Amino acid sequence: MRTIRRTLFGLALAVGMAGAARQAEAQAAPASPSTLEQRKATFAWDQNGRLLRVSYSYRDAIDPESTRKLQSGLPTVIVMRGYLFPVDKPDAPIALTVQSCRIAFDVWNEVYRLQISQPGGETSSVAVNIEGVLRRCAEARTLPLVDKSVLKPGGSYFLSAIVEVNPISREMLERIRGWVSRPPGSTAISAGDSLFGSFVGLFVARIGEADRTLSFRTQSFVVPN
């Protein structure tokens, strides 16, 4: 009986701690994407000066537990969505870039097999180690972001990103697969797009929806006149 009481007390304590963690997370939720933790990104125009591309890292989305799962052979999916906001309207995204990567360790050949989806389509690749996986799947590398026609000359913008490791929403993954089939310059979004949502829906982590969730914003940039 004493053992049962100790077990029940342990369960109650765990539930209480989980509830406290959820409450703390809700209290810590940012009020706007502009208030997210900031990290450096590189914005660069194509040679024709029409398509803006972006590069940044989100390697910290992969923690030691995620690495252990990768090495054990369990398939892992990393999904990044980057939303472009005007500085003067930080709750109304105007463009979206995405990158999704499915990783599976091939135990016979001892390589990681990657299926990468990003604007322009899907590709398959291999990586021989975790460093190769992170380089291809936890970094945005010159991803198409927005056509210049969508932006205001002299306007100031920033990008906010949400990264999910093993999201449970299969519907969202299917929407992303449809999104990447668009031409690279067709990234403008509106409230009617299926990957659009309120700030709370996009950037506030919801308990149990992914193994890990990471959100951040980039520095702002100004569109040349």
Quick: pLDDT tens for 52-76: 999 999 999 999 998 888 888 889 9
Distance of CA 189 to the CA centre of its chain: 17
The predicted structure's pLDDT at residue 15: 37
**48, 80, 202 from 197: Cα distances, Å:** 32, 15, 6
- The rounded distance, in Å, linking the Cα atoms of 43 and 199 is 23
The predicted structure's pLDDT at residue 170: 72
Rg (CA), the chain: 20
Quick: pLDDT tens for 106-145: 988 899 999 999 888 889 999 999 999 999 999 999 999 9
**pTM higher than the cut 0.85:** no
The predicted structure's pLDDT at residue 89: 86
**Residue ranges of the chain with pLDDT lower than 50?**
1-27, 205
The predicted structure's pLDDT at residue 139: 96
The predicted structure's pLDDT at residue 13: 39
The predicted structure's pLDDT at residue 206: 53
User: How many C-beta atoms surround the C-beta of residue 154 within 10 A?
Assistant: 9
The predicted structure's pLDDT at residue 27: 40
